[in-house]
């Protein structure tokens, strides 16, 4: 089993140290490095990553804010020179917290945690029929295949939508209404003018909210009777 990794760190020396360490471990594959978190977002929308080495103090957006913006994240190992953020990092359920300069034995212990965690994680749902997917236009040249059973929620962003799956987020130039109409009605449900959800991904209903993958989404007032009837039947 090999883990695909990326490094997000604005210190070239730190990046080189981690790259060197990764080169010594056969089960870790470095696929990309970024010197800020913002530049990594597009990559994470279209690529599956198993392990993320993340600095905290970076330009544009700090590591914690970036981490909180990812609804479905890979395993995360914090790499920082600041020990005072340790408690906050574990509240965000990071796998480990490495202080720079990072000694190789400590690095090895952290990645062994990652390898063990990945080997014991439940597999993502298997893809169903080969035709159970759709293609979405990501930009002028690229169309991405998305399997329907991997979609968690679709969010309206005015003239765009954000499609959230188990491993990625896709920004697509399309309205939520037209995209929802393209989905099978028995599996997907509009719950708000801003949200369409996958019905079988709902973990709980609390008041006027549904919970999916640990996040709560408001049910619109005009949708609430239909949503509860559909989900509770």
Domains present along the chain, CATH in parentheses: 3-120 (3.40.50.2300), 133-232 (2.40.50.1020)
**Highest-pLDDT range among 57-66, 112-121, 142-151, 196-205:** 196-205
Q: How many CA atoms lie within 13 A of 178 on its CB side?
A: 9
Tokens of 145: 């295949």
Cα-based angle 142, 124, 204 (whole degrees, multiple of 5): 105
Contact status, residue 152 vs residue 212, Cβ threshold 8 Å: yes
The maximal CA–CA distance of the chain, rounded, in angstroms, is 57
Arithmetic mean of pLDDT, 118-127: 54
pLDDT in tens, 131-170: 478 888 887 777 888 888 889 999 999 889 999 988 888 9
- Name the most confidently modeled range: 8-22, 33-47, 180-194: 8-22
> Which of 29-43, 61-75, 184-198 is the least confident region?
61-75
Report yes or no: 107 and 98 within 8 Å, Cβ to Cβ: yes
Residue 89's CB is within 10 A of a number of other CB atoms, namely 21
Q: In what order do the strands lie in the sheet with 160-165?
A: 169-172, 160-165, 151-157, 195-198, 188-192
Residue 187: closest CA among 136, 215, 152 = 152
Q: Is the pLDDT of residue 70 over 60?
A: yes
Q: How far is CA 95 from CA 58, 64, 89, in A?
A: 20, 14, 9
Average pLDDT over residues 47-76: 85
Q: How confident is the model at residue 101 (pLDDT cuts 50, 70, 90)?
A: very high
Between 117 and 155, the more confident residue is 155
* pLDDT band (50, 70, 90) for residue 24: very high
User: Is the whole model's pTM more than 0.75, yes or no?
Assistant: no
What mean pLDDT value characterizes the chain? 87
Distance CA(107)–CA(22), nearest Å, equals: 9
What is the spatial distance between Cα 69 and Cα 60, in angstroms, rounded to a whole number? 14
Q: What percent of the chain has pLDDT over 90?
A: 49
Tally helices (H) and strands (E) across the chain: 7, 15
């Amino acid at each position: 089993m090999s883990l695909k990794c990326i490094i997000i760190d604005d210190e070239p020396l730190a990046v080189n140290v981690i790259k060197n360490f990764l080169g010594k471990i056969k089960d870790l594959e470095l696929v990309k490095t970024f010197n800020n978190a913002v530049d990594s977002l597009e990559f994470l929308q279209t690529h599956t990553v198993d392990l993320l080495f993340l600095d905290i103090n970076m330009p544009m957006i700090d590591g914690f804010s970036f981490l909180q913006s990812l609804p479905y994240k890979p395993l995360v190992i914090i790499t920082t020179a600041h020990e005072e953020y340790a408690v906050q990092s574990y509240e965000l359920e990071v796998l480990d917290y490495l202080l720079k300069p990072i000694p190789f034995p400590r690095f090895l212990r952290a990645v062994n945690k990652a390898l063990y965690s990945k080997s014991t994680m439940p597999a993502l749902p298997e893809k169903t029929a080969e035709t159970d997917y759709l293609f979405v236009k990501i930009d002028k040249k690229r169309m991405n295949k998305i399997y329907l059973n991997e979609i968690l929620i679709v969010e309206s962003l005015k003239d765009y939508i954000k499609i959230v799956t188990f491993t990625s987020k896709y920004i697509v130039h399309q309205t939520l209404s037209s995209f929802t109409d393209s989905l099978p009605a028995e599996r997907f449900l509009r719950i708000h003018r801003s949200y369409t959800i996958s019905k079988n991904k709902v973990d709980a209903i609390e008041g006027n909210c549904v919970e999916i993958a640990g996040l709560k989404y408001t049910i619109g007032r005009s949708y609430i009777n239909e949503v509860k009837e559909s989900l509770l039947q």
